[in-house]
Amino acid sequence: MNTLPQKDISRLQKYIKQATKTIILSHVNPDGDSVGSCLALYLFLREQGKDAWVIIPNNIPDFLQWLPGADNIVTGKNNPDEAISLIAGADLIFYMDFNEINRLDQLSGYVQNNRKAAQVMIDHHPAPVIPADLIFSYTTVSSTAELLFKIIESLNSGKKITRPVAINLFAGIMTDTGCFRYNASNPDTWEVVSLLMKSGIDNDEIYTRIYDNYSEHRMRLMGYALDKKMVILPELHTGYIWLTREELKNYHYVIGDTEGFVNLPMSIKGIRFSALFIEQDKRIKISFRSKGNFAVNRFSAAYFNGGGHLNAAGGEWNETMENTLKRFEKLVHEFADEI
């Protein structure tokens, strides 16, 4: 990513100056990057004396609950009336870390009904289709949090960002890069991290609060998934894990518990494509990961109503687990040459 166009920053400055009620939206099933980015922007705007709210369609995982500002998040699922009225009354809307309106789940329609608000998208997913007034879409950047750092830096005219903002941005970059592994080969990312460190954050504490924060149930579920529910197709360089609602219930599943499971098969020698299938109420939620050129975002968009990045994507399928897995295995055979 080069420097941000000055005309975009000026336009954003104008929007912020004119705004009286700003809402900041994350995609459904929020992750460290979407939550960290929303909260960093929220705290930054509050520091500027602006009225702002973070609205997220459903709950944030437990391991993010401690992030500065997280107590003030409005959750669409728990407080629909408040979320809907805030959306209707907003004159500035930020879309953080997503590229399609339907990633707002049940809130999508309400946002589309607000025609008076200026809309700004800040995201790093390919192929954005949100008709925002101002779009910061940089697909090579590690995370939305890294992109937001650059935006805040430009708005802040050289002033050091505050520690609570820096903590959220660091959490976003750290989680979206799987601790600085994926999509983190650009030196820019490390420069941003260096500047965040200068805001006085404790990287080790942030790591511990996010990754050493699992329940015993989650660890045992992971053991079960690895031992009993991981399927390895060595000749296809593919591995996947599948978990039913019943199994999740047995392990007292709470949101966030299967976070990272999709990466587990990838640690096996020779595996270049992995998937995680989670049975939800009416559908199977799927995560995909790959190494190299096999584009899981295109695979997911073409066959599982999803999208995402080249090497990390997600989707869903409205059939039984059995049919979904059959479909997946058939496709894996068809794509054998590309994986």
Look at the alpha carbons of 181, 187, 193, 197 in this order and tell me if their dihedral is positive or negative.
positive
Residue with tokens 């960093």: 40
Residues 250-289 that bind ligand 5GP (CB under 6 A): 262, 287
Question: Measured from the CB of residue 123, what is the shortest distance to Mn ion in angstroms?
Answer: 8
Residues 94-153 that bind ligand 5GP (CB under 6 A): 100, 125
Q: Cα–Cα distance between 268 and 257 in angstroms, integer?
A: 21
Residue 316 interacts with ligand 5GP (CB under 6 A)?
Answer: yes
H-type alpha helices, 63-162? 80-89, 108-113, 144-155
Residue 97 interacts with Mn ion (CB under 5 A)?
Answer: yes
- For ligand 5GP (CB under 6 A), the number of binding residues is 14
The interface region with Mn ion, picked from 96-104, 193-201, 247-255, 331-339 by CB under 5 A, is 96-104
| Smaller CB separation from ligand 5GP, 44 or 277 | 277
Q: Cα–Cα distance between 282 and 190 in angstroms, integer?
A: 41
The interface region with ligand 5GP, picked from 7-15, 82-90, 152-160, 306-314 by CB under 6 A, is 306-314
Within 8 A by CB and 6+ apart from 108, the residues are 101, 102
Question: Measured from the CB of residue 320, what is the shortest distance to Mn ion in angstroms?
Answer: 30
Contact 1, 188 (CB under 8 A): yes
- Strand spans (E) along the chain: 22-26, 52-56, 74-75, 92-96, 118-123, 134-137, 230-233, 238-243, 273-279, 284-290, 307-308, 312-317
Look at the alpha carbons of 218, 252, 312, 268 in this order and tell me if their dihedral is positive or negative.
positive
Residue 308 interacts with ligand 5GP (CB under 6 A)?
Answer: yes
Question: Measured from the CB of residue 260, what is the shortest distance to ligand 5GP in angstroms?
Answer: 9
Residue 315 interacts with ligand 5GP (CB under 6 A)?
Answer: yes
Residue 176 interacts with Mn ion (CB under 5 A)?
Answer: yes
Per CB under 5 A, residues contacting Mn ion are 33, 97, 143-144, 176
Per CB under 6 A, residues contacting ligand 5GP are 31, 100, 125, 262, 287, 306-309, 312-316
